[in-house]
Chains A and B, each alone.
Chain A
Amino acid sequence: MEARVQRELYDQMVLIRTYEEAILREYHADKKPVFDIGAGLVPGEMHLSAGQEPVAAGVCAHLTTDDAVTATHRPHHFAIAHGIDLNAMTAEIFGRVDGLGKGRGGHMHLFDPKTHFSCSGIIAEGYPSAAGAALAFKKRGTGQIAVGVTGEGAANQGAFHETLNLASLWKLPAVFIVEDNDWGISVPRSASTCVASNAERAAAYGMPGIRIEDNAVEAVYEAAGHAVERARNGGGPTLIEVHTLRLWGHFEGDAQGYRSDIEGVPGQDPIPTYEATLRSAGVLDDAAVVETQTRATELVESAIAFAKASPEPDPSTVLDYVFA
């Protein structure tokens, strides 16, 4: 792989992690000494994507902001990798008026027409609308594609199966991603399906299914490259499952008492792993690592500052935007 691409993938993953760490910090900052989910600068549930950066970085490297992405309730890594405006996204997470949804959506409901990005709080809900975006692109012959993202828990949902069938039937320019982080909240994959790999399920819908082990960003990049090319060239959809890693809890405040794999998890963190690979390949050195981190920190802290400076929405506008 070209060093330029490797560096881009690394930089993207670092930016995502830096962002998630900053949100984690802000989320917990004023929820002490007693944790209150609705209190503080960042209220509500918070689902962070630490550990899953390779999926978003590897897939979105092949997309432009003209392509659509429908992500899950754990959306930040895909939003960032797809090029969403960091300030507007952060202001939305803080519930502020300059947010993507002017404070109506929150972190699970980020909608950005500029990058054709959306996400939702319901399992597998975004798969059908990814197919619909792809249908619109196909009808118009624009060459755009749509990427739908779910977790492995969603692969047992009707919306998942219906969408794969429909997208394959209509040969839609779409790529479907399954992030298998092994856990559907507290239920391990082994307790939710007998299928070893959700990629096998693609065969039932007449589309290629690929599973990538080891949370390897370069493997995701390669597979997504083929799938995106196939979609753009009219070959129809592809399903890619990535065996990734949920480094933290399902949501912030989740003590993960149910989790049997917690001991070995920190050692599998994909960012230091990839950094070590790139260092030994001569792509990264100390200066490059510092440069990447510095740039990421500046971007993220600037977005956090922007969000904090943005006002709360005016309560008198509560009924706005129900109808167009």
Chain B
Amino acid sequence: MTTTTEQSSKRLNTAKAMVEAIASEMERDENVFVLGEDVGPYGGIFSSTTGLIDRFGPERVMDTPISETAFIGAAIGAATEGMRPIVELMFVDFFGVCMDQIYNHMAKIHFESGGNVKVPMVLMTAVGGGYSDGAQHSQCLWGTFAHLPGMKVVVPSNPADAAGLMTAAIRDDNPVVFMFHKGVMGLPWMAKNPRSIGPVPDGDHVVEIGKAATPRRGSDVTVVTLSLSVHHALDVAEELAGEGVDVEVIDLRSIVPLDTEAILESVGRTGHLVIVDEDYQSFGLSGEIAARIAESDPTILKSPISRVAVPDVSIPYSRSLEYAALPTRARIKAAILEQVSK
């Protein structure tokens, strides 16, 4: 279902790619509308809605009061009545104030109704750290939402995927939590990763939710990761190629559904696995991936797996401390080298 129009593409940063995908769905379907904090004239704190209000007006791009419970709940109510709202809550760290609406209401209605009521909405939010924004503005928390049944959890790492996954999320009949890392958006006021600007196919570009990508093929070790850590892993892989280590990088792109098959296939070939996760280590994504391999066939591993995640500490403010907690290139490189030495 992944459609890539090779002959025609444009170069966009991730933020712009998301905006273009939203705009094109708003043009295609009048039920699609956007609401949230500062999504109007400001254009989204992380530029996820820039310019939409000029194109679609305040009726379809609605700034809300700082009332997360009310406006996320309102999106739920509108979705159950057949609209397709895209609601932004700027930082995932803020979801605690409205968590009931998310995991008890949005995620459960389809189930509780025996499939009779659908909740086709996208809940988008920024995740991740690396710029000294402290413990309440730097978390990823995707494992939290993946743990609670009933919502898909999508985490793109680059412009093309952000656009294709956003289109898929809007068209999905399920609630989709769409989490974009600030560090992949290509924002002018943040250290830019070179891959935060890239080609986005023209036309009806849809990336199926639940299919991992393999941005780098390799034979010695598999790095399974997502979001900004994909870029770190690719950087390290390029560096290690010069040292004779051939690294395969898997970009999960979504964690609900999780592409277990792609992980097993890759690890089956390399025999070595490094999981890189910017979320907290314990009871999260990295443990889940390890468990799935253990349940499926632990003999595909030639050595015990390595995890590079946030070591169960709140994200510190001070730069030196923050980078001691985050999954940096240095930590990823060390884990890879340790794997291939086993």
Contacts and interface: CB of A to CB of B under 8 A. Distances in A.
Interface of A: 68, 70, 99-105, 109, 111-113, 116, 118, 120, 122, 125, 127-137, 139, 146, 158-159, 162-163, 165-166, 169, 320-324
16 contacts: A68-B77, A68-B81, A105-B112, A105-B113, A111-B113, A111-B117, A131-B77, A133-B80, A135-B74, A136-B78, A139-B59, A162-B70, A163-B74, A322-B110, A323-B150, A323-B174
Contact of A101 (B72, B82, B113, B149): B113
A133 B76 CA distance: 8
Contacts of B220: none
Interface in B76-93: 76-83, 85
Given A122-B105, A166-B64, A322-B149, A128 B70 contact: yes
Contact of A323 (B70, B85, B104, B152): B152
A322 B114 CA distance: 9
A68 B81 CA distance: 9
Residue from A70, A136, A320 having most chain B Cβ neighbours under 10 A: A136
A129 B116 contact: no
Contacts of B33: 139
B198 interface: no
A102 B74 CA distance: 26
Given A118-B80, A165-B67, A132 B73 contact: yes
B145 to A, nearest CB: 14
A99 B114 CA distance: 9
Contact of A166 (B65, B78, B112, B115): B65
A213 B33 CA distance: 41
B56 interface: no
B114 A100 contact: yes
Contacts of A323: 110, 150, 152, 174
Residue from A99, A101, A128, A320 having most chain B Cβ neighbours under 10 A: A128
B116 A70 contact: no
Contacts of B81: 68, 116, 132-133, 136-137
Residue from A125, A132, A163, A323 having most chain B Cβ neighbours under 10 A: A132
Given A128-B101, A135-B77, A159 B70 contact: yes
Contacts of B101: 125, 128, 159
Nearest to B66: A162
Contacts of B117: 111, 113, 118
B112 A128 contact: no
A118 B82 CA distance: 15
A109 B120 CA distance: 19
B174 A324 contact: yes
B100 interface: yes
Main SS of the interface on chain A? mixed
Nearest to B77: A132
B110 A128 contact: no
A159 B69 contact: yes
Contacts of A162: 65, 67-70
A210 B115 CA distance: 38
B90 to A, nearest CB: 17
A70 B114 contact: no
Contacts of A128: 69-74, 76-77, 101
B64 to A, nearest CB: 7
A145 to B, nearest CB: 12
- Place the interface of chain B in its size category: 35 or more
Given A136-B83, A159-B69, A129 B112 contact: no
A72 B228 CA distance: 42
A130 to B, nearest CB: 6
Given A125-B105, A158-B69, A70 B174 contact: no
Contact of A103 (B73, B83, B100, B114): B114
Residue from B33, B74, B120, B174 having most chain A Cβ neighbours under 10 A: B74
Nearest to B67: A162
A105 B69 CA distance: 22
Contacts of A105: 112-114
A324 B172 CA distance: 9
Contacts of A137: 81
A111 B112 contact: yes
Nearest to A119: B112
A205 to B, nearest CB: 11
B137 interface: no
Residue from B112, B117, B173 having most chain A Cβ neighbours under 10 A: B112
B70 A101 contact: no
Contacts of A169: 65
Contacts of A103: 114
Interface string B98-135: 00110011001111111111101000000000000000
B73 A133 contact: no
Contacts of A322: 110-111, 149-150
A111 B109 contact: yes
Nearest to B121: A132
Given A323-B174, A324-B174, A133 B77 contact: yes
Contacts of B76: 128-129, 132
Nearest to B150: A322
A101 B74 contact: no
B224 interface: no
A265 B152 CA distance: 49
A68 B74 CA distance: 13
B114 A139 contact: no
Contacts of A125: 73, 100-101, 104-105
A187 B229 CA distance: 50
B114 A136 contact: no
B210 to A, nearest CB: 10
A99 B115 CA distance: 12
